Amino acid sequence: MTADFSIEPLAEDAMLLRFGEGIDPATNARVHAAARALRDARLPGVIDVAPAYATLLLRFDPLTWSSDGAQAPHERLFMAAKKLLIEATAEFAGAGTSVTPRAVDIPVCYGGEFGPDLDAVAAQARIAPDEVVARHVGAEYSVAMLGFAPGFPYLLGLDPTLHLPRRATPRTRVAAGSVAIGGAQTGIYPRELPGGWHLLGRTPLTLFDPNREQPCSLAPGDRVRFRAIDAVEFARLADHGA
């Protein structure tokens, strides 16, 4: 059994495990399988395990993995984790994972003031705005990673018809909860931020709250479905602190 991932030291207390390149669902699934295995193993001194599209960041206490020999802490940790990672990713590739992903429903009010780019997206995709919404809510997405800002989910699973380049001119302000598409991805702005993705709608859900026990509503590996709502339901959910 051989490893098809590599190690890249980033700092004295961080390293990157690389499983591939680019945006690929199969590679991302292997990253998440490896992340689960590392979390379950509870290796000493490992502080954080952060998956991305094709990489896995490990933050650790270098003193825990230092020695009097020539081997660096990164190398010692990698060797300790290597067999574990090979078995985890091989098991995923061969028989799938026994872990059932968490399913999350995201209500979205599409178009109008909530999604000012819906009509433009429809024109570029050469379909009706209602069809854009139907295709967007008709897919199941996976949370590939969190990034850009705390709680911002990068979602894989977007209908190929809606794969569009980002806006030529980014906005300086995008409303919190905005549901957007860019390239082959969907994302949700967790708070007011600048951004260059196409805005299809907005959710009343609060995706990130540092005062909650779990600040981020979504986590890597979650499965997401969008549900179309109207402005009345949006206001009701917002008033109830969705």
Averaged pLDDT, 15-21:
90
Q: How far apart (Å, rounded) are the C-alpha atoms in residues 211 and 103?
A: 23
| Cβ atoms of 56 and 35 closer than 8 Å | yes
Domains of the chain: 6-95 (3.30.1360.40), 103-239 (2.40.100.10)
Q: How far apart (Å, rounded) are the C-alpha atoms in residues 54 and 8?
A: 13
CA distances from 79 to 142, 172, 190 (A): 30, 45, 37
Chain segment 129-179, per-residue pLDDT in tens = 999 999 999 999 999 999 889 999 999 999 999 999 999 999 999 999 999
| pTM of the model as a whole | 0.84
CB count, 10 Å around CB of 44? 11
Instruction: Report strand pairing: 46-51 vs 185-188.
Output: unpaired
Chain segment 174-230, per-residue pLDDT in tens = 999 999 999 999 999 999 999 999 999 999 999 999 999 889 999 999 999 999 999
